[in-house]
Chain A
Amino acid sequence: MKLMKMVAVSFILLLSSNLMAQKHFSRSGKITFSSDALLEKIEAINQKATSVIDVATGKIEFAVLIKAFQFEKALMQEHFNENYMESDNYPKAIFKGMIAEASSIDFEKDGNYPVSVKGDLTIHGETKEVYAKGVLLVKDNKVSAKADFEVLVADYKIKIPNVVKDNIAKSVKINVDVDYELFKKKSAQLTAKN
């Protein structure tokens, strides 16, 4: 019986410590990419990226659906999905990384915190390490993040035919812009349900 009680108490402790571990969360992150080549400038926007920042560990994650990128021209979007990204086979792009300065950021104090993020970016089934500099903005307990970085098309085994090599840049700029919400309420719901 005593053992049961101990298990119950440690379980409750575990749950409450889980509640303390704050997470900032978004399912409407904006990811834009642009390819600025000799002949053509191509831009696409995805407004439904999900992202999580775990305050305790400094972990940051992003996920996007490739087919949710919206292009100006239908033909570009078709080529992007069918020929280059093969989004039927690889429907998602995922980033998992760490905010280097996480421990020195006070997520409850308003401010503008410059950050650097390093982690693994998986696109087209290929994973490569990327590094990005960005800014975390904390205002009224709400966190937003902005970052820019570049990736090489060749790094992700995306083949660009010779005919269009002057239409598509070898290095693509990626812009990230996310407004987070505190995840606390949802995790409280979850633990209440269990």
Chain B
Amino acid sequence: MKKYFKYILLLGIMGAAFGFYKYNQPHKNIGNAISDFELSSVQLFSDFELNEKESNTKYLDKIIEVNGVVNDFSKDDSGVATITLDSGNEMFGVICQMDNMSKHKRSEFKIGEKVKLKGICTGILMDVVLVRCIEI
């Protein structure tokens, strides 16, 4: 029994270390992550508008590189920036909430400019919503 004790102890320590690592695992680094899809904001919105269920299966939780024209730019009290991209429908947009865990190249965007952003797709309410976005 004594012979195996140190192996069991070692296994226990390894298990605990793995658990600790998993528990404190950082969020996905969007900057380094490979994009699953690359498309225009108009295309993304129209995909969701045409078939929400299918688009949910296709896009939810995926990293999407989206390009489009800035229709709106705002910052809330806590400094979180949000860019709304043109969806082809003036009532709605593709809302991109910028990531507060990543470093950004700039903190101001102009309405009308063309940008390329990358973020995680969370679905559609009235607008398609991407979170943790960065500019690329």
A residues sitting closer than 8 Å to B (CB atoms) are 27-28, 47-48, 50, 63-68, 70, 73-75, 77, 81, 87-88, 91-92, 186, 189-190
Contact = CB atoms under 8 A, between A and B. Distances in A.
A46 to B, nearest CB: 9
Residues of B in contact with A, size category:
20 to 34
A48 B25 contact: no
B27 to A, nearest CB: 4
B48 to A, nearest CB: 11
Contacts of B27: 74, 77
Interface of B: 22-28, 56-57, 60-61, 74, 76, 80, 82, 90-91, 95, 97, 120, 122-127, 129, 131-132
B129 A91 contact: no
Contacts, number: 67
B28 A91 contact: no
Contacts of A65: 122-125, 129
A53 B39 CA distance: 34
Contacts of A28: 74, 76, 82
A151 to B, nearest CB: 20
B131 A68 contact: yes
B80 A47 contact: yes
Contact of A48 (B56, B60, B120, B131): B131
Contacts of B126: 27, 50
B59 to A, nearest CB: 11
B122 A67 contact: yes
B52 to A, nearest CB: 9
Nearest to A67: B122
A68 B122 CA distance: 6
Contacts of B23: 73, 75
Nearest 8 interchain pairs by C-beta: A67-B122, A68-B122, A65-B122, A91-B123, A74-B27, A65-B123, A50-B125, A63-B125
Residue among B25, B131, B132 with most chain A CB within 10 A:
B131
Contacts of A47: 76, 80, 97
Residue among A27, A50, A75, A77 with most chain B CB within 10 A:
A27
A53 to B, nearest CB: 15
A99 to B, nearest CB: 21
A75 B18 CA distance: 13
Residue among A68, A73, A74, A186 with most chain B CB within 10 A:
A68
B129 A68 contact: yes
Nearest to A193: B90
Contacts of A91: 56, 60, 122-123
25 contacts: A27-B125, A27-B126, A27-B127, A28-B74, A48-B95, A48-B97, A48-B129, A48-B131, A65-B122, A65-B123, A65-B124, A67-B61, A67-B123, A68-B123, A68-B131, A74-B25, A74-B28, A75-B22, A81-B61, A87-B60, A88-B56, A88-B60, A91-B60, A91-B123, A190-B91
